[in-house]
């Protein structure tokens, strides 16, 4: 009784709800054997041909590659892609790939060299001697993925089902119309498929292995039974033809009677499913050492003259495959990749074949129904009756149209296998699967954005927590440092401070004591005097370069201001002597030498300085005195036509008058005033040299030795009055000089002492209110004086 029950259970077949029975249309391609096709002009290998991220490129443009050589690195769930043939990497760029969206993906372009040489391959003929991890790693590096349509990495799928797998199902149903790739593979390569199943059995150690195949494939069924022989661990189950019995959940229900829970995989109920094409690729990778570089592709449709199944290298352009099937591109507007129910129209014939491409359908005009206009839903519920997943397609359609994402999710939109049964039976011609695909894509995009936001929040929270920890650690270190200061450290600090104080005290004792006076301004007189002394020394050096050295008593050089005034007087006298000697070089050659010697030997006047309140007043007074002295000298030079030998010693011996100048506060202004006086002296000397017709040898000593009048500078009240008085005095002096030069033809020897002895008027200058106005007035007076001098010279000519 138990044996009978076990036998009955062993061969029992279950059924699933829904499903349809469309025309099969498989005989067009299932009757011709598999064939190889020539290599195309170029291969286009997309980096992503599976579920998961793309790998890292490990080749460059211009590299030579061999068949089976990895083009990318595979880590985790990232599968590598391999070169389908030997050749050269021509480009790495974006290219349109086999996807309903028609978007471009990064691809590697390889130009074949025609040799089709393999790289070094690693084989595991005795795979049972290898560990499970070694075989799984080898499958991963070989790029093996599910060839039934999902493209899930096989090694990752096997790794997840290493524990608790009771049933291994090999899917050979191939239920969709037109597609016969698995059918033809089972007919011709049944033995290799069984070897691949044995490798899977070694890795998973399941309790039973079931091979499901539809009853519309009698040749494949016979080939599998022959390959199985007397194996008792594998069972071949022939199931009724019904679409979509090849779905993972549907075939699991048919063979085991179990349903996969919502949101979970079949491993949750102890079932793992692999496609027959995947089993064949596993055998080649492990025993033959060949990575996944080609697969079987069905070429079908009435638009092809030679339909069938071919071995297509991954990366082969669709256009090249269709030409091998006798396809006329100019007469056929549409090509479908996949079947008529789950496939999609290609945006271009230059898209490449990838790991999940199993069929190219090129229907004729008569084979295709005209595109019907989409109409409103009539709520007939035919879609719900045909849905193999037990969903409500009508509700999902409304939610998708209304952008109600949460409601669509709650109605199990992601349980839809996109089989197309609902769209096939819809009387309103509504492309329901198109709406579901678009809604899934939008929900995935929303979920990815939310995931990125959550990750950003986690990173932000982690950063804030880290900053708080660091802050707390710093505060703790500071507290510990403050509490951990020992008495020795404090003593060392105090000792250092005491040493600094001692050094400061010693430095203070060495220098002069500084008296601190509260609310007092700093006294910079010493710095000013030193700066004035330096300038006076510089001027003295310049004077020594221009004139012979003059002995000056050291007592008179104690004051830098007196030394500066004395040096200026010496330079003026030297220039006058030089100008007079240049007027008559022949007649004055002998007289110039003693005159210069007398000038050099003449003692420099002692300048007694009193402390004035304003240096400008002292400078103006000095300038007025020098101008008057020069005028007197001009008058004496004009009135004397013959030399006066005896005048020189008298005048030289005459002591130089003492000029009392109050000490200025600013030496720069005094220097400027002295320079102005020197310029005026030069002009007066030139005029006197022009007016004399005969040389006067004794003029130089007379002028140089002329005593300087004593000028007492009183404090002016108004600078304008002082300037006007000075200008009037100069004009009167010039007129007096012009009159004796015109009226007297003979020299007047007594003129010199008279002029010298003439007292200089005392100019009373009051305290100026503004020094700028006084300077302007003085400049105006000087200009007027020059004009008067020029007029007098014109009259003499």
Bridge partners (DSSP) of residue 109 are 44, 91
Per the CB < 8 A criterion, the answer to whether 673 and 619 are in contact is yes
- The set of residues, in sequence order, having a beta carbon less than 8 Å from that of 57 and lying 6+ positions away, is 47, 71, 72, 92, 108
Per the CB < 8 A criterion, the answer to whether 111 and 254 are in contact is no
For residues 658 and 267, what is the distance between their CA atoms, to the nearest angstrom? 127
pLDDT in tens, 584-616: 444 433 333 333 333 333 433 333 434 444 556
Of residues 677 and 747, more confidence is placed in 677
By three-state DSSP, how is residue 63 classified? coil
Per the CB < 8 A criterion, the answer to whether 293 and 119 are in contact is no
Residues in the annotated binding site for [4Fe-4S] cluster:
377, 380, 383, 387, 416, 419, 422, 426
Q: What is the CATH number of the domain that holds 171?
A: 3.40.50.11540
Of 51-55, 135-139, 356-360, 663-667, where does mean pLDDT reach its minimum? 663-667
pLDDT score for 187: 95
Bridge partners (DSSP) of residue 43 are 110
DSSP state of 128: G
Of residues 695 and 33, more confidence is placed in 33
For residues 75 and 593, what is the distance between their CA atoms, to the nearest angstrom? 111
Q: Does some domain include residue 404?
A: no
Q: Does some domain include residue 514?
A: no
By three-state DSSP, how is residue 489 classified? helix
Q: Does some domain include residue 443?
A: no
**Same domain, yes or no, for 151 and 241?**
yes
Q: Does some domain include residue 685?
A: yes
Q: Does some domain include residue 607?
A: yes
Residues in the annotated binding site:
377, 380, 383, 387, 416, 419, 422, 426
Of residues 671 and 349, more confidence is placed in 349
Tokens of residue 467, six digits: 């900053």
Cis peptide before 244 (omega within 30 of 0): yes
Q: Does some domain include residue 412?
A: no
**Same domain, yes or no, for 68 and 108?**
yes
Q: Is the pLDDT of residue 766 over 70?
A: no
pLDDT score for 759: 36
**Same domain, yes or no, for 228 and 302?**
no
Per the CB < 8 A criterion, the answer to whether 104 and 118 are in contact is no
DSSP state of 288: I
Got the DSSP string for 551-569? ---TTTTSSHHHHHHHHHH
For residues 525 and 523, what is the distance between their CA atoms, to the nearest angstrom? 6
Of 561-575, 591-605, 731-745, where does mean pLDDT reach its minimum? 591-605
Per the CB < 8 A criterion, the answer to whether 43 and 53 are in contact is no
- Give whichever of 22-26, 532-536, 567-571 has the largest mean pLDDT: 22-26
- The set of residues, in sequence order, having a beta carbon less than 8 Å from that of 69 and lying 6+ positions away, is 82, 83, 119
Strands 660-662 and 608-610: parallel
Got the DSSP string for 291-310? -S-EEEEEEESTTBSS-EEE
Bridge partners (DSSP) of residue 88 are 64, 111
What number of other Cβ atoms are within 10 A of residue 241's Cβ?
13
pLDDT in tens, 273-329: 999 999 999 999 999 999 999 999 999 999 899 999 999 999 999 999 999 998 887
Domain boundary pick from 238, 264, 289: 289
Mean pLDDT calculated for residue range 484-512: 73
Mean pLDDT calculated for residue range 395-404: 94
Q: Is the pLDDT of residue 739 over 90?
A: no
DSSP state of 285: I
Q: Tell which residue, 715, 455, 705, 751, has the closest CA to residue 604.
A: 705
Domain range for 62 is 34-112
How far from 450 is each of 447, 454, 457, CA to CA, in Å?
5, 6, 10
**Same domain, yes or no, for 762 and 708?**
yes
Q: Does some domain include residue 460?
A: no
Of 22-36, 414-428, 514-528, 673-687, where does mean pLDDT reach its minimum? 514-528
**Same domain, yes or no, for 198 and 83?**
no
pLDDT in tens, 463-485: 999 999 999 999 999 888 877 65
pLDDT score for 718: 60
- The set of residues, in sequence order, having a beta carbon less than 8 Å from that of 358 and lying 6+ positions away, is 147, 149, 179, 181, 182, 277, 295, 296, 297, 298, 338
Q: Is the pLDDT of residue 452 over 60?
A: yes
**Same domain, yes or no, for 641 and 696?**
yes
- pLDDT-derived band at 792 (thresholds 50, 70, 90) equals low
Is 0.85 surpassed by the pTM of this model?
no
**Same domain, yes or no, for 625 and 744?**
yes
pLDDT score for 163: 77
pLDDT in tens, 86-105: 999 999 999 998 877 778 89
Of the chain, the percentage scoring pLDDT greater than 90 comes to 46
Calculate the CA 745 to chain-centre distance: 95
Per the CB < 8 A criterion, the answer to whether 143 and 48 are in contact is no
For residues 355 and 377, what is the distance between their CA atoms, to the nearest angstrom? 37
**Same domain, yes or no, for 274 and 312?**
no
| Main-chain dihedrals φ then ψ at residue 520, nearest 5 degrees | -115, 145
Tokens of residue 117, six digits: 């040489």
DSSP state of 370: P
Bridge partners (DSSP) of residue 764 are 714
Domain boundary pick from 307, 327, 361: 361
Q: Does some domain include residue 371?
A: no
For residues 360 and 353, what is the distance between their CA atoms, to the nearest angstrom? 10
Q: What is the CATH number of the domain that holds 94?
A: 2.40.50
Domain boundary pick from 320, 336, 361: 361
Bridge partners (DSSP) of residue 82 are 70
Tokens of residue 713, six digits: 């500078």
Q: What is the largest CA-CA distance in the chain?
A: 179
**Same domain, yes or no, for 278 and 302?**
no
For residues 711 and 727, what is the distance between their CA atoms, to the nearest angstrom? 16
**Same domain, yes or no, for 314 and 273?**
no
For residues 340 and 346, what is the distance between their CA atoms, to the nearest angstrom? 13
Helix (H) or strand (E) holding 274: strand 271-275
**Same domain, yes or no, for 258 and 307?**
no
Average pLDDT score, the chain = 77
Mean pLDDT calculated for residue range 407-431: 94
Question: Computed from CA positions of residues 764, 766, 767, 769, in that sequence, does the dihedral angle turn out positive or negative?
Answer: negative
pLDDT in tens, 643-673: 433 433 333 333 333 333 344 445 566 666 6
For residues 671 and 613, what is the distance between their CA atoms, to the nearest angstrom? 17
For residues 442 and 252, what is the distance between their CA atoms, to the nearest angstrom? 30
**Same domain, yes or no, for 150 and 87?**
no
- Give whichever of 121-130, 263-272, 650-659 has the largest mean pLDDT: 121-130
- Give whichever of 308-317, 539-548, 630-639 has the largest mean pLDDT: 308-317
| Main-chain dihedrals φ then ψ at residue 413, nearest 5 degrees | -60, -35
Per the CB < 8 A criterion, the answer to whether 705 and 580 are in contact is no
For residues 674 and 473, what is the distance between their CA atoms, to the nearest angstrom? 76
Q: Is the pLDDT of residue 188 over 50?
A: yes
Mean pLDDT calculated for residue range 617-623: 67
- The set of residues, in sequence order, having a beta carbon less than 8 Å from that of 342 and lying 6+ positions away, is 149, 176, 418, 419, 420
Mean pLDDT calculated for residue range 616-623: 67
For residues 437 and 416, what is the distance between their CA atoms, to the nearest angstrom? 9
Domain count, the chain: 4
For residues 135 and 199, what is the distance between their CA atoms, to the nearest angstrom? 9
Q: Tell which residue, 790, 592, 787, 573, has the closest CA to residue 682.
A: 573
Q: Is the pLDDT of residue 397 over 70?
A: yes
| Main-chain dihedrals φ then ψ at residue 16, nearest 5 degrees | -120, 155
């Amino acid at each position: 009784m138990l044996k009978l029950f076990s036998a009955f259970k062993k061969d029992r077949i279950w059924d699933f709800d829904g499903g349809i029975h469309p025309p099969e249309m498989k005989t067009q391609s299932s009757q011709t054997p598999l064939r190889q096709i020539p290599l195309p002009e170029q291969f286009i290998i997309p980096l992503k041909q599976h579920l998961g991220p793309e790998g890292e490129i490990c080749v460059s443009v211009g590299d030579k590659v061999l068949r089976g050589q990895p083009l990318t690195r595979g880590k985790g769930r990232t599968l590598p892609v391999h070169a389908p043939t030997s050749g050269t990497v021509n480009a790495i760029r974006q290219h349109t790939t086999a996807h309903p969206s028609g978007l471009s993906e990064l691809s590697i372009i390889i130009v074949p060299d025609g040799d089709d040489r393999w790289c070094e391959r690693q084989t595991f003929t005795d795979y049972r001697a290898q560990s499970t991890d070694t075989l799984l790693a080898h499958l991963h590096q070989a790029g093996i993925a599910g060839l039934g349509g999902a493209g899930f990495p096989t090694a990752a799928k096997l790794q997840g089902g290493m524990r608790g797998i009771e049933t291994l199902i090999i899917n050979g149903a191939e239920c969709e119309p037109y597609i016969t790739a698995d059918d033809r593979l089972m007919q011709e390569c049944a033995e290799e498929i069984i070897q691949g199943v044995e490798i899977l059995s070694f890795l998973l150690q399941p309790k039973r292995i079931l091979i499901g195949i539809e009853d519309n494939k009698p040749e494949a069924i016979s080939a599998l039974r022959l390959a199985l022989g007397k194996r008792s661990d594998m069972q071949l189950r022939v199931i009724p033809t019904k679409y979509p019995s090849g779905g993972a959940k549907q075939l699991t229900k048919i063979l085991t009677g179990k349903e996969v829970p919502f949101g979970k995989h079949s491993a949750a109920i102890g079932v793992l499913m692999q496609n027959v094409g995947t089993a064949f690729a596993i055998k080649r990778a492990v025993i033959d050492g060949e990575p996944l570089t080609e697969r079987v592709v069905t070429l079908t449709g009435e638009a092809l003259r030679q339909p069938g199944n071919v071995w297509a290298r991954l990366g082969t352009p669709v256009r090249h495959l269709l030409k091998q099937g006798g396809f006329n591109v100019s007469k056929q507007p549409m090509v479908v990749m996949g079947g008529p129910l789950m496939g999609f129209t290609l945006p271009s014939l230059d898209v490449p074949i990838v790991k999940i491409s199993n069929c190219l359908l090129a229907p004729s005009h008569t084979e295709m129904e005209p595109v019907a206009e989409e109409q409103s839903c009539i709520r007939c519920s035919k879609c719900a009756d045909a849905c193999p997943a037990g969903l409500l397609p009508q509700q999902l359609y409304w939610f998708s149209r209304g952008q109600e994402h949460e409601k669509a999710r709650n109605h199990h939109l992601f349980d839809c296998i996109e089989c197309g049964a609902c769209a096939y039976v819809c009387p309103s011609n509504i492309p329901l699967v198109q709406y579901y695909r678009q809604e899934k894509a939008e929900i995935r995009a929303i979920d990815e954005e939310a995931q990125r936001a959550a990750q950003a929040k986690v990173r932000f929270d982690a950063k804030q927590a880290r900053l708080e920890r660091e802050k707390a650690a710093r505060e703790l270190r500071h507290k510990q440092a403050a509490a951990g200061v020992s008495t020795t450290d404090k003593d060392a600090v105090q000792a250092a401070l005491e040493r600094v104080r001692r050094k400061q005290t010693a430095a203070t004792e060495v220098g002069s004591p500084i008296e601190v006076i509260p609310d007092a301004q700093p006294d910079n007189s010493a710095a000013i005097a030193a700066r004035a002394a330096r300038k006076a020394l510089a001027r003295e050096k310049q004077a020594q370069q221009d004139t012979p050295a003059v002995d000056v008593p050291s007592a008179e050089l104690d004051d830098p201001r007196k030394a500066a005034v004395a040096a200026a007087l010496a330079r003026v006298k030297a220039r006058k002597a030089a100008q007079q000697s240049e007027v008559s070089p022949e007649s004055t050659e002998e007289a110039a030498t003693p005159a210069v010697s007398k000038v050099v030997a003449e003692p420099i006047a002692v300048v007694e300085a009193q402390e004035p309140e304003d240096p400008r007043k002292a400078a103006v007074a000095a300038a007025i005195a020098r101008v008057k002295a020069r005028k007197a000298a001009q008058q004496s030079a004009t009135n004397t036509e013959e030399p006066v030998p005896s005048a020189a010693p008298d005048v030289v011996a005459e002591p130089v008058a003492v000029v009392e100048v109050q000490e200025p506060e600013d030496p720069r202004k005094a220097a400027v005033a002295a320079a102005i006086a020197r310029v005026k002296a030069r002009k007066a000397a030139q005029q006197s040299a022009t007016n004399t017709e005969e040389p006067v040898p004794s003029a130089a000593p007379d002028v140089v030795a002329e005593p300087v009048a004593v000028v007492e500078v009183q404090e002016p009240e108004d600078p304008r009055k002082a300037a006007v008085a000075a200008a009037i005095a100069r004009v009167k002096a010039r007129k007096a000089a012009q009159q004796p030069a015109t009226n007297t033809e003979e020299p007047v020897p007594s003129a010199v002492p008279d002029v010298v002895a003439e007292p200089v008027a005392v100019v009373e200058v009051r305290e100026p209110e503004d020094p700028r106005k006084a300077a302007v007035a003085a400049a105006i007076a000087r200009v007027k004086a020059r004009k008067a001098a020029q007029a007098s010279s014109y009259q003499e000519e």
